[in-house]
Structure 1
Amino acid sequence: MADKQAFFDHINAGNTTKGEAITLGAAMLDGETITNALVKVPLKTLNRHGLIAGATGTGKTKTLQVLAENLSEKGIPVLLMDMKGDLSGIAQPSPGHAKIDERHEKIGIPFEAKKFPVEILTISDQGGVRMRATVSEFGPVLLSRILDVSDTQAGIISVIFKYCDDNKLPLLDLKDFKSVLQYATNEGKEELAKDYGRISAASTGAILRKVVALEQQGADLFFGEKSFDTDDLLRVDENGMGYINIIRLTDIQDRPSLFSTFMLSLLAEIYATFPEQGDSGRPELVIFIDEAHLIFKQASKALLNQIESIVKLIRSKGVGLYFVTQNPTDVPDEVLSQLGLKVQHALRAFTAKDRKAIKLTAENYPISEYYKTDEVLTSLGIGEALVSALSEKGIPTPLAATMLRAPMSRMDVLEDSELTELLNGSKLSEKYNDLIDRESAYELLTKKIEVAEQEEVKEKAKKEREAVKKSSSRSSKSRSSRSTQSTLLKTLSSPTVIRSVLGILGKMMR
């Protein structure tokens, strides 16, 4: 048995903070919760990203909920990816329970039921504030990464964007992009070849097929106007609480390409528009990506590189990214190495592969004299986790098996009537929920082709008229010539002429 007082001092010394912090719970030793041995995460380091991992049913979603609530309470807006549809209850207070009170008594902090300001967002047909982006905002590089095209095809995509910029053809949705691709291959191939080089029909065909595949996953709902302004993720309510923005994604779990497209677009837009924050005392926005393996599933090398670059760079904008998944191995090592906070719920060792994964996971945590990490990972209960964070100086805090606090809001979904009331009360719906289909590349190119076709018809008709005119002129001349010949023949063969000619000849003979 370890010395409880020494352990208590060890935990409290490592978790002492001068600035604001979030309390996750109390440390545990030998399966017992050590009251007031509080495990804290400084706000200052919450833009250093993090991981919440663990087997199904171990409490990952509730941990996400606790972090989101406490951030909102500190006035920090949050963005949640709700893949399972069980986070909307944050908009209502917890009904409370005797077991919750018992848990908090062990931890050493009072329990308070509370609701939080929530905005429901969507990228599909589900109810909520519609989030969209234009193809132009997406850009040629990111679009090439998502479509996983070759270098040659990526060059063609860049040419398409340049042609549209030069000719003032707005690329708003996938319909626009497809129309320009088809134009570059058919009616406009000579026009583009003159200024940008010849474009292979085989390459544009390959790109077009990949765009169609992306459309089939529902991307046509995401691309378009009105574009979502990322500043609307930073709202704070009248009580100074940060909005918890929940994106409903329950209907795209089987469409990883759409999810990756959306996430990369959003992160790229945030990085491009948010100002540099430097080393401030709190993050501007914290994003939780549930079922994070969907981002990395079937991702190409180029796409993974793009994700890794964004993860490395976006923290300078005051944005923290938190990946929620079953196993840390779902996240690439290059991304894991960037993470500051790790909350590891229980893992199950059913197979040799599982046991190997647990040993690898244990090696990602600081060595502790109080725990055999690989053994603790398989013995944690629901709502318990190994926690390793960063101190205000960027030093890993002591590893702590933690009894996590309970969410202050409802640990369940909203009822239909509650959800409807929340959606109807949204201040962003009017701004984003009307679909705008203004004149863009598709319409402009269609008009251009129609004008060209009309000119072609006119030119063809003109040539036909000229041909008919020439043919008529030749026919008239022919008829005139034949008439003259006929008249001359009649004249020469007339009796008068014959008699005259014979008379002349008779005189000459005499």
Structure 2
Amino acid sequence: MDKKQEFFDSIVKGNTFKGDYITMGAAMLDGETITNAHVKVPLKTLNRHGLIAGATGTGKTKTLQVIAENLSDKGIPVLLMDMKGDLSGIAKASPGHPKIDERHAKIGLPFNAKDFPVEILTLSDQNGVRLRATVSEFGPVLFSRILDATVAQSGIISILFKYSDDNKLPLLDLKDFKKILQYATDEGKEEIEKDYGRISAASAGSILRKIVELEQQGADIFFGEKSFDTDDLLRITNDGRGMINIIRLTDIQDRPKLFSTFMLSLLAEIYSTFPEQGDSDRPELVIFIDEAHLIFKEASKALHSQIESIVKLIRSKGVGLYFVTQNPTDIPEGVLSQLGLKVQHALRAFTAKDRKAIKLTAENYPDSPFYDTKTVLTSLGIGEALVSALDEKGRPTPLAATMLRAPMSRMDILTDKELEEINESSKLVKKYSEVIDRDSAYELLNKKIEKANEQEAKEKAQEERKKAEKSSSRSRSSGRQTQSATSKAIVKVLTSATVIRGVFGILGKLLK
């Protein structure tokens, strides 16, 4: 048996599954595409997470697009983080091209151009479905980790959440939390200290500065109502296709804190609300995080730990997470070790650091008798990648340099008019367009303070009246005492006069 046939047989055998799967493309050997040696990924293991990596311009975004399209066709909803704005074209069919036809002939797959059901979501003021969450939904632990709070500061945050719960003060947005923080060190200091313990003014000031930093990255737009319901990510169209939800993040690339805040809150909400799936045959939802290094770049150690925990646990909910980045070293080892599917596009060895990264990357893949992995990593062309997946029993499939299939949808962005048409026909845009600002901690505490001030003013007025009354009473008493003394003096004088007159009267009689 020659090497080519042996390779073909190993790929076919390693990619034969009982359950449903998606086809990535055809395997390559010595730069030649082996037609019909299809590289597949079973749906059963797609909740084991994955990585799409490679240098700029090697085709990562198109690989993401291909996987998302195939998942949608299988009835699996998808959530895409679109950092560069070039994924919205999924909503329109590919115009086709002779090079696409040539590629698919080599792969051994027909090319069918088609559009896909798309929902446009946004974290900012861009048009689309507005994504929001309340501070209360974050909870004290997650909120502390987002702020990178110290142990002492985390304790204060927990106290304030507890006080809010006990006193029915909803924490909806950041102004609510800032208000209760100010209240705890000012008007309500004695009340909170009595039942919950002392709150340091210095620590409270540090927390406030961190909240201001978060606000400067646009988080004040994100926190609030109406909260996004994660069940709306699971919609299936009438023809049985999964909805592709695209979060446009083109205007927050320079605000990684907001991006990582949103991602962590979304994953935490999904984990807390989705039911346990166990070992199901297909995922409920697959999430692709483009430019994934932004999540980890500004994140604290505590935030890293939180993300790692969620990655480990969320697959039991039937959710797959796929990180898209330039180099696998952008992903922390604790997360990287949890990723079952790896699609590695070409890496470039321009520097000594690059060569070290390539060596480390090659060690992350199973050994193959047909490849020198380090060499292949630097020789892959655009739209080609090393693929290693997990089979239905959780074992790595044969490593394959793969000619990837082309996207069935447009490999370009939508025009403003096309985006507007999608938003106008969206039920979710209408559902989440209303901004609700009901009475929450900010308003209720202001009313409480106002009422306390009114009561204090009333008590002060009463005290002043009492003082005035006492003063008036003393004045009257003093008047009466003066009048009595005068009367006594007059009586005394009159008495004296009478006596004198009496005396003189007697003397007068005697003198006569």
Give me the TM-score of the superposition, normalised by structure 2: 0.97
Local SS of the residue matching 2:427 = coil
Cα distance between partner residues in 1 of 2:418 and 2:429? 17
More divergent stretch after superposition (468-477 vs 350-359): 468-477
Local SS of the residue matching 1:403 = strand
More divergent stretch after superposition (478-487 vs 260-269): 478-487
Determine whether 1:498 maps to 2:509: no
Counterpart in 2 of 1:282?
282
Counterpart in 2 of 1:5?
5
Q: Aligned-pair distance for 1:489?
A: 3.1
Counterpart in 1 of 2:27?
27
More divergent stretch after superposition (84-93 vs 207-216): 207-216
Counterpart in 1 of 2:41?
41
Cα distance between partner residues in 1 of 2:327 and 2:506? 133
The letter of the residue matching 1:504 is V
Counterpart in 2 of 1:341?
341
The letter of the residue matching 2:71 is L
Matches within 5 A, 1:159-174: 159-174=159-174
Counterpart in 2 of 1:111?
111
- What whole-Å deviation, never above 9, does each CA across 1:457-499 have from its counterpart, x for those lacking one? 00111111111111111122222222333343344445x8425
Matches within 5 A, 1:60-459: 60-459=60-459
Local SS of the residue matching 1:322 = strand
Q: Aligned-pair distance for 1:208?
A: 1.3
Structure 1, gaps ≥5 residues long: none
The letter of the residue matching 2:328 is P
Cα distance between partner residues in 2 of 1:501 and 1:424? 117
Cα distance between partner residues in 1 of 2:427 and 2:238? 13
Q: Is the 8 A contact 1:20 1:43 kept in 2?
A: yes
Local SS of the residue matching 1:120 = strand
Q: Is the 8 A contact 1:22 1:42 kept in 2?
A: yes
Q: Aligned-pair distance for 1:430?
A: 1.7
- What whole-Å deviation, never above 9, does each CA across 1:280-314 have from its counterpart, x for those lacking one? 11000000000000110121111111000000000
Cα distance between partner residues in 1 of 2:2 and 2:196? 73
Cα distance between partner residues in 2 of 1:475 and 1:503? 40
Q: Aligned-pair distance for 1:336?
A: 0.5
- What whole-Å deviation, never above 9, does each CA across 1:126-158 have from its counterpart, x for those lacking one? 110011111111111100110111111111111
Identical columns (%): 76
- What whole-Å deviation, never above 9, does each CA across 1:5-57 have from its counterpart, x for those lacking one? 11111111111111111100001111111111100000000000000000000
- What whole-Å deviation, never above 9, does each CA across 1:347-390 have from its counterpart, x for those lacking one? 11111001011100000001111111111111111000010000
Number of residue-to-residue matches in the alignment: 509
Matches within 5 A, 1:466-505: 466-493=466-493, 497-498=496-497, 500-501=499-500, 503-504=502-503
Cα distance between partner residues in 2 of 1:21 and 1:457? 74
More divergent stretch after superposition (479-488 vs 143-152): 479-488
Taking a change above 3 Å as real, the CA distance of residues 27 and 507 of structure 1, as seen in their structure-2 partners, is: same
Counterpart in 1 of 2:52?
52
Cα distance between partner residues in 2 of 1:45 and 1:11? 18
The letter of the residue matching 1:67 is I
The letter of the residue matching 2:196 is Y
Taking a change above 3 Å as real, the CA distance of residues 2 and 386 of structure 1, as seen in their structure-2 partners, is: farther
Local SS of the residue matching 2:179 = helix
Local SS of the residue matching 1:194 = helix
Q: Aligned-pair distance for 1:200?
A: 1.4
Local SS of the residue matching 1:114 = coil
Q: Is the 8 A contact 1:271 1:317 kept in 2?
A: yes
Cα distance between partner residues in 2 of 1:504 and 1:13? 151
More divergent stretch after superposition (226-235 vs 194-203): 194-203
Cα distance between partner residues in 1 of 2:422 and 2:500? 119
Counterpart in 1 of 2:15?
15
Q: Is the 8 A contact 1:96 1:113 kept in 2?
A: yes
- What whole-Å deviation, never above 9, does each CA across 1:231-283 have from its counterpart, x for those lacking one? 10000101100000000111111111101110000000000000000111100
Cα distance between partner residues in 1 of 2:45 and 2:499? 130
- What whole-Å deviation, never above 9, does each CA across 1:176-215 have from its counterpart, x for those lacking one? 1111111111111111112111211111111111111111
The letter of the residue matching 2:187 is E
Q: Over aligned residue pairs, what C-alpha RMSD do you find?
A: 1.5
Q: Aligned-pair distance for 1:2?
A: 7.2
Q: Is the 8 A contact 1:140 1:158 kept in 2?
A: yes
Q: Aligned-pair distance for 1:344?
A: 0.4
Cα distance between partner residues in 2 of 1:273 and 1:490? 96
Cα distance between partner residues in 1 of 2:279 and 2:128? 35
Q: Aligned-pair distance for 1:506?
A: 7.3
Local SS of the residue matching 2:58 = coil
Cα distance between partner residues in 1 of 2:265 and 2:19? 33
Cα distance between partner residues in 2 of 1:210 and 1:445? 22
Structure 2, gaps ≥5 residues long: none
Q: Is the 8 A contact 1:2 1:370 kept in 2?
A: no
Cα distance between partner residues in 2 of 1:347 and 1:107? 23
Cα distance between partner residues in 2 of 1:257 and 1:274? 26
Cα distance between partner residues in 1 of 2:463 and 2:210? 43
Taking a change above 3 Å as real, the CA distance of residues 129 and 30 of structure 1, as seen in their structure-2 partners, is: same
Local SS of the residue matching 1:139 = helix
